[in-house]
A and B are shown apart, each in its own frame.
Chain A
Amino acid sequence: MTYNLTVSPDFPPERIASWFVFNTWLQKKLGVNIHLELYDDFESQHQAMEAGHVDLIYVNPYDATTLVREKGFEAIAAPQGVSDEAVIAVASDGGIKCVEDLKPGCHIASTDDKDVHMMCMIMIEPADLTASNINLSEHPNYVIVAKKIMIGEAQAGFFYKQAYEKMSKVIKSAVVPIVTSQISVIKHMFLVSPRFSEHKEAIKAALLDMHNDEKGRHIVEELGFDSWDEQTQEDTEFMIDLMDTLV
């Protein structure tokens, strides 16, 4: 039997090779066949999820909700000390200093990242802004979102915090944050399907121990974090409850 592993399409593209290395390591550790399939966008990943083609997934919070509550997936681990946060940024010379300076009818640039969307929509509420009184445009990536602000087509942009922080100095001096979320409990995590449940304990042990040998530590660092933390089912259920209050 071969299982399918996939990774939320919002992972940084430079990490593609690292996920293949991770998969080779994982198969050796568990003694099972795992095929890594990376989808280009959320839509094709969702189709695979619906068709039951996903057994192991490093997933974004929004999709974790569906997989845990509707498909019986279980949480195994999450990157240590890394949470998903969002930034609302504006032109540095545009006179907008806080969310309350944004007015109904304003143009906001964003991407199709649903987690970022959710967090940013609650951060504009204090300005009496909602989906029905802003003009939201969706773009393929955050550099384009920043450019829309720089050329004045958008008064603000919704960013994934890590993506904002990785942008060039030039962009970051032209497009500056007015508010950054500090939610802490919303995060990417590793889930397994009911079909994979016989290997659940083995994979959990392998991931949590991964940073303890040199090779494992190197692989996990290449994924962009230091180690895996245990993510209990209750941690995940609570994250989902919390997200449920935000929509």
Chain B
Amino acid sequence: MRDMTEDDVTGDFTAHHLTYFDGTSRRVLVTDEEVPFPEGKLIVSRTDPTGIITHCNKAFVEMSGFSEEELIGQPHHILRHPDMPKAAFKDVWDTAATGAKWHGYVKNLRKDGKYYWVYATVISNVRNGEVVGFASVRRKPSRTKINECVGLYKEMLAEEQSS
């Protein structure tokens, strides 16, 4: 995935260097502008068993700021925001591997450097007894819960960065 440039964002931004689980890395630029969750909608995506995006719905495309073509075939960490601790996603993968459902609050990064909060559920898609992929369905989160997570994720990040 290409690094973000100043042309991608508008207004003040901070630059971060993200290193992903697969060893690749990317420069991302983030602004502190939040995009509200679309009322009544669900943001849906599916991945193959390795986390590569295979499908997404219209709300997913609209909220991400990317086009559908830019998303399909990319690793799902295309949305990873630098304010999210790694441990949260480790928990997603550890839980999904057992076949259980994962629920949690996630701050996602858009193509334009803005962010949006979701309440996400990740499940495995089991067909004829086999895991053929994963799906995530995101709904509008409660502001109270987001505020709790802002603090929690900050602490988790600080801990990750100091170790």
Contacts and interface: CB of A to CB of B under 8 A. Distances in A.
Contacts of B39: 179-180
A127 B142 contact: yes
Given A179-B40, A237-B127, A238-B125, A245 B101 contact: yes
Interface string B24-62: 000000000000001111101010000000000101000
A242 B44 contact: yes
B40 A242 contact: no
Contacts of A181: 40-41
A57 to B, nearest CB: 22
Contacts of B2: none
Contact of B121 (A180, A184, A185, A245): A245
Interface string A163-193: 0000000000000000111111100000000
Given A123-B40, A180-B40, A182-B40, A244 B141 contact: no
Interface residues of B, number: 25
Contact of B135 (A127, A183, A241): A241
B144 interface: yes
Contacts of B142: 125-128
A107 to B, nearest CB: 20
A151 interface: no
A125 B101 contact: no
A246 B39 CA distance: 16
B137 interface: yes
Interface string B131-152: 0000111011111110000000
A106 interface: no
Contacts of B119: 125
Contact of A183 (B41, B125, B127): B41
B99 to A, nearest CB: 12
B95 to A, nearest CB: 13
A245 B136 CA distance: 8
A112 B135 CA distance: 29
Interface in A111-139: 122-123, 125-128
B58 to A, nearest CB: 8
Contact of A245 (B41, B127, B135, B141): B135
Contacts, number: 57
B46 to A, nearest CB: 8
A242 B143 contact: no
Contacts of A242: 42, 44, 135, 137
Contacts of A128: 142, 144-145
B128 to A, nearest CB: 10
B78 interface: no
Contact of A241 (B57, B125, B140): B125
Q: Which of B42, B140, B143 has the most CB of A within 10 A?
A: B42
Q: Which of A125, A245, A246 has the most CB of B within 10 A?
A: A245
Given A125-B139, A181-B40, A183-B42, A245 B123 contact: yes
Given A125-B119, A127-B142, A245 B40 contact: no
Interface string B70-96: 000000000000000000000000000
